[in-house]
Amino acid sequence: MKHLIAPSILTADFANLQKEIMMLNKSAADWIHLDIMDGVYVPNISFGFPVLESVKKIAEKPLDVHLMIANVEHYLKRFKDAGADILTVHYEACTHLQRTVTEIRLLGMKAGVALNPHTPVTLLKNIFPYIDMVLIMTVNPGYGGQHFIEESWNKIPELRKMIDESKYNILIQVDGGVDLKNARLLVDAGVDVLVVGNTVFSSDNPAETILRLKKLED
């Protein structure tokens, strides 16, 4: 499968958010990534249901929603109703992970599980039958524009091997510090979905940057 590009609007220009979403609609992006933070699970607050609902009205690409919040089980249907197509929850934030991801699927969304940089991928083996994607965080969650944590590299081929041997159709997504220099290496290591924020929205031509990330041409 050709790798997917999911630009994160966390670093977009929120004063011109409609324009930014329309740019993504016309670009080579595959998904639109939204980071939801509550100031409890992570030390930052981003945006919630009103922004997600507004983006859904404009977006022509699937909405890939990454929940960095506590008590996720209380809000799953709300996120479905607000427009989420893919809903990713953190392993570290879910007391009953299997129940949570099963409910996400029952609501008609794809279910993802995110791992913080310090969390080993081996902990996910028994959840493979219930999920569609694993998100490897390559920065500590909470803020955009951070540098890639180099120790994260080892987790990607390890997870790739686990998934391939399991025979389940599970995507590997990476979020944090992805740029034009490491994108090719990440895909070659086994990543299916690249979440890219600052690299896209701080560039002079975001649509062209997305195209370069999609084609992986220098």
Q: Record the tokens describing residue 52, joined without a space.
A: 């997600």
Marked catalytic residue, from 30, 35, 38, 64: 35
DSSP H or E segment with residue 88: strand 86-90
Choosing from 30, 38, 132, 175, the catalytic residue is 175
DSSP string for residues in 7-61 = EBGGGS-GGGHHHHHHHHHHSS-S-EEEEEEBSSSSS-B---HHHHHHHHHH--S
218 counts as catalytic = no
| CA-closest candidate to residue 216, choices 198, 204, 196 | 196
Q: What is the spatial distance between Cα 10 and Cα 26, in angstroms, rounded to a whole number?
A: 19
| Residue 2 three-state SS | coil
Is 170:163 a contact under the CB 8 Å cutoff?
A: yes
Dmax (CA) for the chain in angstroms is 46
DSSP run (H or E) holding 6? strand 4-7
Q: How many residues does the chain have?
A: 218
- Whether 179 sits among the annotated catalytic residues: the reply is no
Q: In the chain, what are the helix, strand and coil shares in percent, each to the nearest 5? A: 45, 20, 35
State the catalytic residues: 35, 175
